[in-house]
């Protein structure tokens, strides 16, 4: 009998297997979370004007150059952002040191919140950087880069973990026009047909445009969650890169089981008053200290951006059949409360503040 066991063990080694893998009841699922930043508007501070002029290359477009110079300056540095392409959150290549530190902490805290919501599944986090131009053609170009990068990384992870690529769930979380870069993946899949699938597409304050909103119906996306705020004026201001004006909501003809649209509201813990998040509050750190003043906003979870609570929102909203929803976020002593309202239905999920406290000081604007 001992001889049989030894032979079985040797055969497993030759096949590259372990006892744990053979005895596993089901294959391990991996989650790739990818954060896609929004537009980098060409506002120029006096302190950065000299840098812009000095670094202006003759072969580059104006939009691309401003994106290069501004991505780690002013308020743009206070967000999850990296250099161009798909990069692990721990990758420091080309990233300003203080931004890299925040990226690492952001990824660490996000993964802890994800595991709090969904258990101990393996989560790998990435950033996708693009030039941030307010241009439909540049977003289309960025979507091609994102499409190719997702396929390469999905296949690399599948080889590393010796699993079927279909067992790797891709979760895209995009702010502002990063959401339109993500929606354009549907166009790339239609053209290239490489079998890319997105388990969850989460849009935060994405300007809904007639040129891209129909992609929400594409088979590449299994679930789409559009998070918005009625206090977000930036979302509906784009009249440059679309015909007409951008919108806050997808048209009713796209209401289906895969799309959920959710208004976000913030509740003041002392007064009980409702505050509507601003555009930057969805994605940027420590907005209560932002300069200029018109970007400031109250938040019960400051200095953390609302994007960090995406796992809890997915947990709440995938469990309901309602398409039009409201999530109210409040803080009560030791917990952050996220309460979902859909019709007569109400559900609440709590996150211990103790989980976030070790990170708090690192997200404050210096």
SS3 content of the chain, % helix, strand, coil (to 5): 40, 20, 40
Parse the chain into domains and list their residue ranges. Answer: 27-363
More confident residue, 43 or 2: 43
Cis amide bond preceding 292, omega within 30: yes
- Number of Cβ atoms within 10 Å of the Cβ of 306: 24
- CA–CA–CA angle 111, 117, 121 (5° rounding): 60
C-alpha to C-alpha distance for 147 and 192, rounded to whole angstroms: 10
Three-state DSSP at 171 gives: strand
Contact 250, 226 (CB under 8 A): yes
For the record, the structure tokens of 61 come out as 């477009």
Please state the rounded mean pLDDT for residues 225-246: 94
259: β partners: 224
How would residue 15 be classed by pLDDT, with cut points 50, 70 and 90? very low
Percent of the chain with pLDDT over 70: 85
Q: Average of pLDDT values for 226-255?
A: 93
Beta bridge partners of 345: 342
Q: Whose CA is closest to 285, among 267, 269, 301?
A: 301
335 forms beta bridges with: 332, 352
What mean pLDDT do residues 103-125 have?
A: 93
Please give the structure tokens belonging to residue 327: 């999530």
What average pLDDT is seen over the chain? 87
- Cα angle value 21/24/26 (rounded, 5°): 115
What average pLDDT does range 53-82 have in this prediction?
A: 68
Q: pLDDT (tens digit, 9 = 90+) per residue, 256-306?
A: 789 999 999 999 999 999 999 999 999 999 999 888 877 888 999 999 999
Q: Which two tokens stand for residue 41?
A: 């508007």
Q: For residue 208, what is the DSSP state?
A: B
Beta-strand relationship, 259-267 and 221-228: parallel
pLDDT score at 287: 93
What are phi and psi for residue 326, nearest 5 degrees?
A: -130, 135
Q: What is the pTM of this model?
A: 0.88
């Amino acid at each position: 009998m001992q001889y049989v066991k030894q032979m079985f063990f040797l055969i497993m080694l030759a096949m590259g297997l372990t006892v744990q893998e053979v005895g596993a009841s089901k294959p391990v699922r991996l989650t790739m979370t990818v954060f896609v930043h929004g537009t980098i508007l060409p506002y120029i501070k006096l302190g950065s004007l000299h840098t812009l002029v000095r670094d202006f290359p003759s072969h580059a477009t104006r939009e691309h150059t401003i994106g290069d110079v501004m991505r780690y300056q002013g308020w743009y540095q206070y967000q999850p952002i990296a250099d161009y392409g798909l990069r692990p959150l721990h990758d420091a290549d080309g990233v300003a040191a203080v931004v890299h530190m925040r990226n690492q902490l952001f990824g660490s805290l996000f993964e802890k919140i994800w595991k709090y919501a969904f258990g101990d599944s393996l989560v790998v986090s990435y950033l996708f950087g693009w030039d941030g131009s307010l241009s439909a053609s540049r977003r289309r170009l960025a979507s091609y880069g994102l499409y190719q990068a997702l396929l390469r990384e999905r296949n690399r992870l599948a080889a590393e973990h010796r699993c079927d690529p279909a067992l790797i769930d891709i979760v895209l979380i995009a702010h502002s026009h990063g959401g339109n870069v993500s929606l354009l993946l549907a166009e790339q899949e239609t053209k290239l047909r490489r079998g890319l699938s997105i388990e969850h597409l989460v849009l935060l304050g994405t300007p809904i445009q007639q040129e891209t909103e129909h992609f929400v119906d594409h088979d590449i996306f299994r679930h789409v969650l559009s998070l918005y705020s009625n206090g977000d004026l930036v979302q509906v201001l784009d009249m440059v890169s679309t015909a007409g004006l951008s919108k806050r909501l997808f048209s009713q003809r796209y209401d289906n089981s895969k799309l959920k649209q959710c208004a976000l509201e913030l509740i003041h813990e002392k007064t009980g008053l409702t505050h509507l998040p601003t555009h930057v509050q969805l994605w940027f750190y420590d907005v209560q200290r932002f300069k200029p003043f018109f970007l400031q906003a109250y938040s019960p979870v400051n200095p953390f951006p609302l994007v960090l609570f995406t796992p809890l929102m997915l947990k709440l909203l995938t469990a309901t059949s309602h398409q039009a929803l409201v999530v109210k976020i409040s803080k009560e002593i030791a917990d952050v409360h996220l309460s979902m309202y859909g019709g007569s239905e109400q559900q609440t999920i709590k996150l211990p503040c103790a989980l976030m406290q070790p990170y708090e000081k690192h997200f404050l604007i210096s």
